[in-house]
Structure 1
Amino acid sequence: MDKKSLIDINTDLLSEYNEIKVLNPDTWEIGEYLNLKYDMNAAIAFSKLYFPDFIEKDGCIILGHRYNEQVFKQWQDYFNGDVKAIESMCNSYEVMDYFQNNRPVTESLDFYNQVIDELAKTLKKSWEINCQILFPDKKIVVEVYDEYDATRITLYQDK
């Protein structure tokens, strides 16, 4: 058997995943976990996280959920039209903010940071694939970086 995948995830970071797997070692896998923890509405919403909309404006590519006309114009003026700098700032987002309202208070900060890094790794791969398909003629970099003790993600064109 030859297993292929675009991403690997650390299931040790999923709450209760391994505890339930011990009880069902032959049948427990990610599909059962998703069925236990989420519903179809969550699945549909998550699809836009991994397959986001992109806005093309004045040569820039901006994540749809990050686009704000006023902010875009401010960065455009500040960076004198430098596409890479504008995109980098407009697309920058703190990964924790996707789910900041749902952090279990009992989790240690170290464990939570591991979870954030795992999500960032997966988002990076997903967005890279999206950009390769949607913009095959452009070299778009998806970057995960730490700034002020926060894991951030952004994307920009590398010309």
Structure 2
Amino acid sequence: MDIFSYVEDVVSPEDSLIFCKWLFPDFVVFEDSVILAMKFDEAAFRIWLQHFSGDKAGVEKMLNHTHLYDVFSGCGSSVGEVVFEQLSNVLAMSWRMVLKERFPDRRFHVEATNSDQEYGPVVTFHEVRGEKGTDLFFLL
């Protein structure tokens, strides 16, 4: 079955729109930190800022931390690990593009990981803050 036939038979326009919002998310800029809008909570931000002793990159990594197993918790074990790994790489690539487009004067580190220390594949990002006057580049 080709992709168009699959979409025609299985996927609704609402499903497509929701998935697009995940691939191309909205962001909140709060106290000069960039946080996924779907994960922003001011109280949590302040708690993590205190926990990380004012390190905004640490707060961003924590609040933007997204476990793919949690996003797709309704699938159970019916999906192979390789699918989650591939999806985490696609999500990371998409977030890199969106962050670069929406914040061209900032640089971000977006990572997709799958380690024994985590609960399955994870995607997160944080701003790379450097000295003023240095050339900014976008980490891939």
Shared topology, TM-score over 0.5?
Answer: yes
Give SS of 2:105's match. coil
* Contact 2:67-2:119 within 8 A present in 1 as well: no
Report the alpha carbon displacement of residue 149 of structure 1 after superposing the two structures with TM: 4.6
Hey, what's the Cα distance between the residues in 2 that align with 1:148 and 1:142?
Answer: 16
The answer to whether 1:32 aligns with 2:5 is yes
The answer to whether 1:48 aligns with 2:41 is no
The answer to whether 1:151 aligns with 2:124 is no
Higher CA-based Rg: 1
**One-letter identity of the residue aligned with 1:158:** V
**One-letter identity of the residue aligned with 2:5:** E
**One-letter identity of the residue aligned with 2:43:** Q
Give SS of 2:80's match. helix
Hey, what's the Cα distance between the residues in 2 that align with 1:132 and 1:148?
Answer: 27
1:1-159 alignment runs, 5 A limit: 20=1, 29-103=2-76, 105=77, 107=78, 112-145=80-113, 146=115, 147-159=117-129
Q: Aligned-residue CA RMSD in angstroms?
A: 1.4
- In structure 1, the gaps of 5 or more residues are 1-19, 21-28
Give SS of 1:155's match. strand
**One-letter identity of the residue aligned with 1:64:** A
1:50-108 residue CA offsets vs partner (Å, 9 max, x unmatched): 111101011110001111111111011111221111101111111111111133x5x3x
* Contact 2:24-2:98 within 8 A present in 1 as well: yes
- In structure 2, the gaps of 5 or more residues are 130-140
Aligned residues: 127
Identity of aligned residues (%): 25
TM-score, normalising length: structure 1: 0.74
**One-letter identity of the residue aligned with 2:124:** T
Report the alpha carbon displacement of residue 41 of structure 1 after superposing the two structures with TM: 1.1
Give SS of 1:150's match. coil
Hey, what's the Cα distance between the residues in 2 that align with 1:156 and 1:30?
Answer: 33
Report the alpha carbon displacement of residue 115 of structure 1 after superposing the two structures with TM: 1.1
Hey, what's the Cα distance between the residues in 1 that align with 2:31 and 2:94?
Answer: 25
Give SS of 2:54's match. coil
* Contact 2:27-2:37 within 8 A present in 1 as well: yes
